[in-house]
Amino acid sequence: MSFLPSPDQQALVDATRSFVQAEVGPLVADDDRDERFRKELIPRFGEMGLTGVPIPEKWGGLGLGYSEYALVIEEIARVSPAYAIAVAVSGLPQVILARYGSDGQKRRLLPELASGRHLGAFALSEPGSGSDAASLRTTAVRYGDRYVLNGGKMWITHGPYADVIIVMARTGGNGARGISAFVVEGGAKGLSFGRAEDKMGLRSSPTHAMTLEDVEVAADDLVGREGQGFTIAMAALDSGRITIGATAVGLSRAAADAAAAYARTREQFGKAIIDFQGVGFMIADMAIATESAALLVRKAAWLKDQGLPFTQEAAMAKCAATDAAMRVTTDAVQVLGGYGYTREYPVERMMRDAKVMQIVEGTNQIQRLVISRHIARG
- Strands (E) located in the chain: 120-123, 139-143, 146-157, 164-170, 179-185, 191-193, 207-218, 222-223, 267-268, 271-272
Contact 320, 292 (CB under 8 A): yes
Q: Decide: 287 and 281 in contact? Cβ < 8 Å.
A: no
Q: Which of 255, 254, 256, 202 is nearest to 85 (CA)?
A: 202
User: How far is it, in rounded angstroms, from Cα 56 to Cα 52?
Assistant: 8
DSSP 227-273: T-HHHHHHHHHHHHHHHHHHHHHHHHHHHHHHHHHHHHH-EETTEEG
Catalytic residues: 361
76, 82, 87, 89 alpha-carbon torsion, rounded to 10°: 140
What's 136-165 look like in SS3? CCCEEEEECCEEEEEEEEEEEECHHHCCEE
